[in-house]
């Protein structure tokens, strides 16, 4: 599953990760203000259940955790999700398969 993540804040976003993800490929990334990155997760070992993704990151000393999107039976229903992190909100735009 592919994501584009945009840091539209004036802060460094640290320890960002998205789950579900296999333990071996779980990666944490850091984004400086206004940075954009591509982020991929491996869902090959995801449980065959319906659930949402979990975004987690840290700004300063605050940990932010948000659930978003949806996958069915462990399989993504979107091709690509754009995550726009702003000062006081997070926006998600998805493209369906």
- 2-96: what fold? Immunoglobulin-like (2.60.40)
* Domain parsing of the chain, residue ranges: 2-96
Q: What are phi and psi of 34, to 5 degrees?
A: 70, 5
Dihedral through CA 72, CA 49, CA 90, CA 58, nearest 10?
-150
Q: Look at residues 89, 73, 83 and name the one whose alpha carbon lies nearest to residue 2.
A: 83
Amino acid 97: pLDDT: 57
Residue with tokens 């320890």: 15
State the average pLDDT over residues 17-28.
75
Share of the chain above pLDDT 90, in %: 75
């Amino acid at each position: 599953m592919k994501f584009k993540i945009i840091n539209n804040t004036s802060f460094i976003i640290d320890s960002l990760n998205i789950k579900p993800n296999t333990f071996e490929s779980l990666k944490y990334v850091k984004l400086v203000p206004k940075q954009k990155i591509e982020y991929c997760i491996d869902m090959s070992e995801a449980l065959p259940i319906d659930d949402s993704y979990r975004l987690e990151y840290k700004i300063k000393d605050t940990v932010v955790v948000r659930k978003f999107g949806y996958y069915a039976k462990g399989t993504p229903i979107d091709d690509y999700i754009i995550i726009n992190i702003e000062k006081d909100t997070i926006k998600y735009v998805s493209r369906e398969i």
